[in-house]
Amino acid sequence: MALSGLYAMAQGDSSFGIKGGLNYSANGDYFESASDVAENPDRNIGYHIGFFGKIGASKVYVRPELVFTKTKSDYQNSEFDMSKLDVPVLLGINIVGPLHVFAGPAFQYILDTKFDGIKIDDVENDFTVGMNIGAGVNFGKLGVDLRYERGFSNNEATFINTDITAVGPSRIDTRPDQLILSLSLAL
């Protein structure tokens, strides 16, 4: 009897939907990078689009997501682009009214990397693990959230005996370190 009651309560606030938004990669120094936005408005700006599910009671929920993410980072005036699939699994708590906070692991699978337009095949690990933490507000079926993502797994691309090292770094840390602004719509 108790198990069926928990199931019914979880189903009451469950939903799924679509999400998308902007990512801001700062290579670990958000304030310095933000001061350059006036000069280069698209510097370190990427995007994401995907799906989410939400399973939970009125106060606590679990929110798995499947998201395609495209990031762009600036390294010594050279551009590093990365495409990846992200799978955050978030545990959230509804604080008051429409406000909620969440955190959880984020699993990333790197699909493609390019440094100044040159495809990089030598990233240490295609699969990495990180953390998402953030807050959001929901207005009916529409939601907005802001989160911070940081990769935990050491992961870098290394360039040896190439022309790339003459114009940029010889190693690039490919772990995500970004702010993510999302708009979601429950279907």
Average pLDDT, the chain: 78
- Give mean pLDDT, residues 42-61: 90
Q: Given this model, what pLDDT does residue 1 score?
A: 41
Task: Name the 3-class secondary structure at 185.
Answer: strand
- Give mean pLDDT, residues 121-150: 87
This prediction's pTM: 0.77
Locus of tokens 């929920």: 61
Alpha-carbon distance 176 to 178, whole Å? 6
| 113 CB-near residues (< 8 Å, 6+ apart) | 80, 81, 82, 83, 119, 120, 123, 157, 174
CATH code of the domain made up of 12-186: 2.40.160.20
| 171 CB-near residues (< 8 Å, 6+ apart) | 156, 157, 158, 159
pLDDT at 68 over 80: yes
Residue 2 bridge partners (DSSP): none
pLDDT at 155 over 70: no
Q: How confident is the model at residue 25 (pLDDT cuts 50, 70, 90)?
A: confident
pLDDT at 125 over 80: no
